[in-house]
Structure 1
Amino acid sequence: MVLRRAHRKSRHGCAECKRRRVKCDENRPTCSNCANRDTVCEYESLTSLLWTSEQRASRHVTRASRSNRDQRTETILGVGANTQGIVRQILSESSAPTSSAPTLNLQHMELMMQWCNSTYQTLSRNERTDTVWRHAVPEEALSNPFLMHGILALSALHLARTSPEKTRRAAYLEQAMAHQNQALELFRDLLCDLNKANSKPMVAFAGIVVLYTFGSPHIRDVQDPWACIDSLCQVLVLSRGVLQLIRYPADTISGSAFAPILQLDESYAPLQGEAKTIIDDLYEANNLCGLQDANHETEVYASTIGNFAKMLSLVHGGVTTSTVAIRWAIKLPQEIP
């Protein structure tokens, strides 16, 4: 008698393969069948941030095998102690003997790994803030969906900009926009209810959304070359809004694990060469405008130039993160529109 060769059933195939009743290899974002037929490949798991549940028979998992699996997963992820706790929580919940066990959304897991391994550094200034953005912020996101969507959005945008697999960049950008839209929708509902309970995730998300806007693609308008400047101004206005958000819960944050975010102790290096020449020229041009125009607000622009000089000296002092630009916008005088 000819034995039938064992094969793995496809339980999470795409919608098109299910419709055609063919086996799906479940490759993301496009399975082989859809790629060969040049059809749209969609997975039901993309419809929600929450993992979908599927009925299946519960299997007995020994304590030893579960422990080995935890260790292998943490080694692969290469994450710190706090993030390992998150991983253990996820694994313990998914391996518990229940009649309905959740299935992993691998795209979201990929984006979270991207955050823990790389993207968090785009917001961090030093080792002390590394701990906040890499561990404390994801922990807050577990109970604040808008922050979780923000993390996944920025991670997807980071991959869209830097992934060596150029064919996947468009898919990453689509994921980024989808998560950002969901994050903003949830965030807006909370803006009028800022309190001690949500202050930390709100402040964290404010920083994420500003950096996301900085990194988002801006299409150049040939007929309106100033459009890119207008977009930059909108980013700066958004950055200044972060200051208003930080002022209210500052006391709460200063006594929490998020405190390093508000502690600014970077060293300033004196400007030299071309950078110093540019600043001197700006001061001279400002004074000249003041002499020629009685309505010119010389002091306001002098303060703005001074803040710009400080941010440049931070860069010369070794601070290379994009938060320098955000801080310059935050420190602009209120008279600057």
Structure 2
Amino acid sequence: MATLSRRPHRKSRTGCERCKKRKVKCDELKPACTNCLKHSVPCNILATSPSASASPGALVPTENGSSTMPKVADPSLDSSCNMPVVEGWQQAADLNILDLELLHNFCTSTCYTLHSDPTLKTLWAINVPKLGFKYDFVMHGILSLSALHLAYTRPERREWYISQATLQNQASLGLVTSILPNITDENCSAVYLFSTLTFILKLASPHKPGDLLVIGESGLQEWLALFRGMQAIILSSHDALESGVLGPMFAVGARRSRLRDVYTSEQSVEVMQLGNLRCAIQRHVIQPHLLLVYMDAIDELQKSFALAYNGAFEALETGEVFVFLFRVSEEYFRLLKDRTQESLAIFAYFCPISKRLEGNWWSKGLSSHLMSEIYPLLDEEHKLWVQWAMEEIGWLPTRETGY
């Protein structure tokens, strides 16, 4: 009787190392193939390197790209702990070491850098990961932010951690798409947290030339459009958010918001500088409806100025800085998209306030980046309008920015 021979497997000569080990077809997408992205594991499609041989007792890669302990000699008994080996033990022991590293870094380090209030530091350390365990899109956002933090604290591996942050962020965006049209009282906290993580991720990510951070060529940047849209979620799910795991975040924010209104009347040299901008716009803008839009924007900016330059506050929180971007009208953003000189000049005065956040790793260089994008769009007269804001953040134009 003829012996049945096994059909030979045609090995792939291209693709990433993990797909080769799993003997699956690699679509060779960059910076990561679809299989690795689906399993949330690192992909070396850009630079495949030979695997290092495992030392005794070391974790070794399995077919699905995670890591596990090597098999012991006796298939039914692990002599190191005298425990019987259960069928399917290898699958149960699979670990994604990269995800564990990122989560550990978030819970022991990153979470404490996101707010100065002790209560909210604890919330980021405990409540936020709990939401991540319940909602995958939140967990991917957490891991993405942690990867960017490691890129900052470990500059020797900066590019690698940035690539991992990109992969985690892509996974998060892909998963949340189906949730956004169906926001309920049960998932509203997770969606709100996702928007917050997206906001911080945008600030922490490397900024590219030509990126105004708020307004792009096609209009309002996606992250800010999503974040401004959270106002509708807060209104529709207000009670659920306040009573949920993120409740303390809203309680602290409400208290700080009241302080912002209290200190609106505070006068200082900085607030007076904003007054000079107000007078300049009043002299140059003759259309009543445009003047009203600009004056309302300056009023909101003045509230942030009064709080930012009040000596009673050692630290300015993120919400107190960026609340300006959510209080101004849609008409102001339309004017900013059209690059009107007055709207750009007002936005330039937002830079000194954003400078107050730059003690945080995730907002380093934010004010200078914003100013470098605004300045070239101004004519010679309006460049003089923003001179004080430039000096306040210590920024000087270069040849690339219209010197």
What TM-score, normalized to structure 2? 0.56
Aligned in 2, Cα 1:237/1:47: closer, same or farther, shift over 3 Å?
A: farther
Question: In structure 1, what residue type is equivalent to 2:320?
Answer: V
What SS does structure 2 have at the residue aligned with 1:197?
coil
Summarize the alignment of residues 11-22 of structure 1 with structure 2, pairs less than 5 Å apart: 15=17
Question: In structure 1, what residue type is equivalent to 2:304?
Answer: M
Summarize the alignment of residues 1-337 of structure 1 with structure 2, pairs less than 5 Å apart: 15=17, 39-40=48-49, 56=71, 59=78, 99-100=89-90, 101-124=92-115, 126-160=117-151, 162-163=152-153, 165-221=154-210, 230-231=215-216, 234=221, 236-263=224-251, 264-266=254-256, 267-268=259-260, 270=266, 272-273=268-269, 275-289=270-284, 292-316=285-309, 317-337=313-333
Question: In structure 2, what residue type is equivalent to 1:325?
Answer: V
Larger Rg: 1 or 2? Answer: 2
Deviation at 1:308, TM superposition (A): 1.6
Deviation at 1:238, TM superposition (A): 4.0
Aligned in 2, Cα 1:253/1:29: closer, same or farther, shift over 3 Å?
A: closer
In 1, Cα distance between the equivalents of 2:272 and 2:64? 54
What SS does structure 2 have at the residue aligned with 1:297?
helix
Deviates more, 1:140-149 or 1:310-319: 310-319
Query: Aligned-pair RMSD on alpha carbons?
Result: 3.7
What SS does structure 2 have at the residue aligned with 1:336?
helix
In 2, Cα distance between the equivalents of 1:271 and 1:96? 72
In 2, Cα distance between the equivalents of 1:300 and 1:15? 57
Q: State the Cα deviation string for residues 71-110 of structure 1 (Å, max 9, x = none).
A: xxxxxxxxxxxxxxxxxxxxxxxx9997342333222122
Aligned in 2, Cα 1:99/1:45: closer, same or farther, shift over 3 Å?
A: closer
Q: State the Cα deviation string for residues 282-302 of structure 1 (Å, max 9, x = none).
A: 22123223xx42254223222
Question: In structure 2, what residue type is equivalent to 1:252?
Answer: A
Spell out structure 1 runs of 4+ moving beyond 4 A.
28-31, 41-48, 51-62, 95-98, 226-229
What SS does structure 2 have at the residue aligned with 1:109?
helix
Question: In structure 2, what residue type is equivalent to 1:150?
Answer: G
| Equivalent pair of 1:211/1:322 in contact (CA under 8 Å) | no
In 2, Cα distance between the equivalents of 1:282 and 1:304? 12
In 1, Cα distance between the equivalents of 2:149 and 2:267? 31
In 1, Cα distance between the equivalents of 2:237 and 2:323? 18
Aligned in 2, Cα 1:191/1:281: closer, same or farther, shift over 3 Å?
A: same
**Identity in percent:** 23
In 2, Cα distance between the equivalents of 1:53 and 1:260? 39
Stretches of structure 2 lacking an aligned partner (at least 5 in a row): 1-15, 22-40, 52-59, 334-403
Question: In structure 2, what residue type is equivalent to 1:114?
Answer: N
Deviation at 1:146, TM superposition (A): 0.2
**What is the count of residue pairs matched by the alignment?**
266
Q: State the Cα deviation string for residues 33-78 of structure 1 (Å, max 9, x = none).
A: xxxxx85368968978xx677895675998xxxxxxxxxxxxxxxx
| Equivalent pair of 2:137/2:173 in contact (CA under 8 Å) | yes
In 2, Cα distance between the equivalents of 1:247 and 1:53? 47
What SS does structure 2 have at the residue aligned with 1:213?
helix
| Equivalent pair of 1:29/1:41 in contact (CA under 8 Å) | no
